[in-house]
């Protein structure tokens, strides 16, 4: 039986690009080993959680192609997959710990704890406050606001072997009696994650390096319940190019941003998979190669630096090599976002074939091809002045007339007409082609002129050429 892994985001906003990397590594491990990828929504923080965030996260996962076998929208044998709907399970687990003397109700107020913390700081500014266990052996149970604390061992150490960072040892003397249930009755992360991971049969917990400090507490909880702990793999941090915590100052951090900017899902996935994992010097992977080659044990412990230039390059490669028919719906979305209607121009797949060599993203491509669906958004006045001159008036009029009489609107036929007119007028092909390009596109950059005119279509081409001819000096 293959591994059971999970991705468990908190729905307090968008899917962070670092979270997407975590989801990808879990998904790849499940796929490569014939396992199950579970999505669980950790929404116990009701103030910060929202259904809009849930939808945004699930939509981002779907866009990336990271399908889940259990979780929201698909169900499964271990539902609900929303922690807010599993509260009774947590209550039962907490009561079991309390009855077994492994947890206790703590009635210490925030004010009391703050006073103790302040007194310690006054005695020793460098000392780390550890809850002294005031309520640890308390027998009465007053009807007062309280939290529930786990009764941590005071001696020995809590050890586990991480698949990325190796053996992790935490002396129990530095572990305090940590809170597992808030005053509002909701469980904290460590308790809920342990209860759910056990109930859902999770065999590997792969998550960000920032969670490694939680793991000793979770190991203690597993032992207290008498449950076998899963394996753990903590993934290296993603940093800015300068080695700082990755933030919006350095790059887009939301998967949705990359979707809106016209990146391809495979471009994003291929970039993310190389942040902490590699297979020799190979840079580009198909989805099938990622699944076949990925090994969680091969993840590097060193932090990875986010390089937007490298992401651009990788996305460009996928844009150039991908199946235009597969990419086409994503270009249609970009065209629509720019206010353009694909029905008013050539098929998106044909546009991709012609324009992708120069584009980094689909947004770039849509901007380059704008004039195929509407009047040119920007007219290059310098190009008009340079190329649409009195000297070209005769050849341009002749070309327009000859083209209008051409029944076969293909790039080959268009090329033949242009070549014949250029030869007849005693000018080079480019001397005619560039003025035509400026006349129909508003600028000097496009695919080969015969391809451009074929995509633009007879009606738009002839209309723009005629308009240009009438405006010639």
Average pLDDT over every residue of 419-448: 96
User: With bands split at pLDDT 50, 70 and 90, how would you rate the model's confidence at 46?
Assistant: confident
Sign of CA dihedral 108, 109, 110, 112: negative
Establish whether domains 4-83+239-308 and 86-235 are of one fold: yes
User: With bands split at pLDDT 50, 70 and 90, how would you rate the model's confidence at 70?
Assistant: very high
Asked if 29 and 294 count as a contact pair (C-beta separation under 8 A), the reply is yes
Domain residue extents for the chain = 4-83+239-308, 86-235, 376-473
pLDDT value of position 445: 94
The residues annotated as belonging to the active site are: 248
Average pLDDT over every residue of 54-65: 97
**247 has a pLDDT exceeding 80:** no
pLDDT value of position 62: 97
User: With bands split at pLDDT 50, 70 and 90, how would you rate the model's confidence at 373?
Assistant: very high
pLDDT value of position 248: 66
Q: pTM score > 0.95 for this model?
A: no
Average pLDDT over every residue of 410-431: 96
Query: Is the domain defined by 376-473 classed in CATH 1.10.10.350?
Result: yes
CATH superfamily for 4-83+239-308 is HUPs (3.40.50.620)
Summarize pLDDT for 182-220 with one digit per residue, the tens. 999 999 999 999 999 999 999 999 999 999 999 999 999
Average pLDDT over every residue of 435-440: 97
Average pLDDT over every residue of 378-398: 94
**127 has a pLDDT exceeding 90:** no
The three-state DSSP-derived secondary structure of the chain is: CCCEEEECCCCCCCCEHHHHHHHHHHHHHHHHCCCEEEECECCCCCCCCCHHHHHHHHHHHHHHCCCCCEECCCECCCCCCEHHHCHHHHHHHHHHHHHCCCEEEECCCHHHHHHHHHHHHHHCCCCCCCCCCCCCCCCCCCCCCCEEEECCCCCCEEEEEECCCEEEEEEHHHCCCCEEECCCCCECHHHHHHHHHHHCCCCEEEEEHHHCCCHHHHHHHHHHHCCCCCEEEEECCEECCCCCECCCCCCCCEHHHHHHCCCCHHHHHHHHHCCCCCCCCCCCCCHHHHHHHCCHHHCCCCCEECCHHHHHHHHHHHHHHCCHHHHHHHHHHHHHHCCCCHHHCCCHHHHHHHHHHHCCCHHHHHHHCHHHCCCCCCCCHHHHHHHCCHHHHHHHHHHHHHHHCCCCCCHHHHHHHHHHHHHHHCCCHHHHHHHHHHHHHCCCCCCCHHHHHHHHCHHHHHHHHHHHHHCCC
pLDDT value of position 44: 86
Average pLDDT over every residue of 418-447: 96
**309 has a pLDDT exceeding 80:** yes
**249 has a pLDDT exceeding 70:** no
Summarize pLDDT for 253-290 with one digit per residue, the tens. 899 999 999 999 999 999 999 999 999 999 999 999 99
Sign of CA dihedral 421, 422, 425, 426: negative
Lowest mean pLDDT among 50-54, 126-130, 141-145, 153-157: 126-130
pLDDT value of position 161: 96
Average pLDDT over every residue of 51-72: 97
For all residues of the chain together, what is the average pLDDT? 94
pLDDT value of position 173: 85
Query: Is the domain defined by 86-235 classed in CATH 3.30.2000.10?
Result: no
Summarize pLDDT for 455-472 with one digit per residue, the tens. 999 999 999 999 999 988
**251 has a pLDDT exceeding 80:** no
Percent of the chain with pLDDT over 90: 86
**243 has a pLDDT exceeding 90:** no
Summarize pLDDT for 318-349 with one digit per residue, the tens. 999 999 999 999 999 999 999 999 889 999 99
User: With bands split at pLDDT 50, 70 and 90, how would you rate the model's confidence at 47?
Assistant: confident
pLDDT value of position 250: 63
């Amino acid at each position: 039986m293959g591994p059971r892994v999970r991705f468990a985001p908190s729905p307090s906003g968008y899917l962070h690009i670092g979270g997407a990397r975590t989801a990808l590594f879990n998904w790849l491990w499940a796929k490569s080993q014939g396992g199950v990828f579970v999505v669980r929504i950790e929404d116990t923080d009701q103030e910060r959680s929202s259904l809009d965030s849930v939808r945004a996260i699930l939509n981002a996962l779907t866009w990336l192609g990271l399908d889940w076998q259990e979780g929201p929208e698909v169900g499964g044998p271990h539902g609900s997959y929303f922690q807010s709907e599993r509260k009774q399970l947590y209550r039962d687990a907490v009561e079991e710990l309390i009855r077994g003397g492994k947890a206790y109700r703590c009635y210490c107020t925030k004010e009391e704890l703050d006073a103790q913390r302040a007194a310690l700081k006054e005695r020793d500014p460098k000392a780390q406050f550890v809850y002294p266990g005031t309520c640890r052996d308390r027998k009465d149970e007053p009807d007062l606001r309280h939290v529930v604390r786990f009764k941590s061992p005071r001696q020995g150490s809590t050890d586990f072997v991480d698949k990325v960072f190796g053996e992790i040892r935490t002396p129990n003397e530095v572990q305090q009696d940590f809170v597992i249930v808030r005053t509002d009755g909701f469980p904290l992360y460590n308790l809920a994650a342990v209860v759910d991971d056990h109930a859902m049969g999770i065999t590997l917990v792969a998550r960000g390096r920032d969670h490694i400090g939680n793991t000793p507490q979770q190991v203690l909880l597993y032992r207290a319940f008498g449950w076998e702990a899963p394996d753990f793999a903590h993934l290296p941090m993603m940093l800015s190019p300068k080695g700082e915590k990755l933030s919006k100052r350095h790059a887009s951090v939301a998967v949705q941003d990359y979707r809106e900017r016209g990146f391809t899902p495979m471009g994003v996935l291929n970039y993310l998979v190389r942040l902490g994992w590699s297979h020799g010097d190979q840079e580009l992977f198909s989805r099938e190669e990622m699944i076949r080659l990925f090994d969680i044990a091969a993840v590097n412990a060193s932090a990875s630096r986010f390089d937007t230039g490298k992401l651009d390059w990788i996305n460009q490669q996928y844009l150039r090599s991908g199946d235009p028919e597969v990419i086409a719906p994503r270009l249609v979305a970009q065209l629509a976002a720019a206010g353009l209607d694909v029905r008013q121009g050539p098929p998106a797949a044909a546009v991709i074939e012609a324009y992708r060599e120069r584009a980094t993203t689909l947004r770039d491509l849509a901007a380059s091809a704008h004039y195929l669906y509407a009047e040119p958004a920007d007219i290059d006045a310098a190009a008009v002045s340079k190329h649409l001159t009195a000297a070209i008036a005769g050849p341009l009029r002749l070309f327009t007339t000859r083209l209008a009489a051409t029944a076969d609107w293909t790039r080959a036929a268009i090329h033949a007409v242009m070549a014949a007119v250029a030869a007849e007028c005693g000018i080079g092909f480019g001397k005619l082609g560039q003025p035509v390009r400026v006349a129909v596109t508003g600028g000097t950059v496009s695919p080969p002129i015969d391809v451009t005119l074929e995509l633009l279509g007879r009606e738009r081409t002839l209309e723009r050429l005629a308009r240009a001819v009438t405006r010639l000096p």
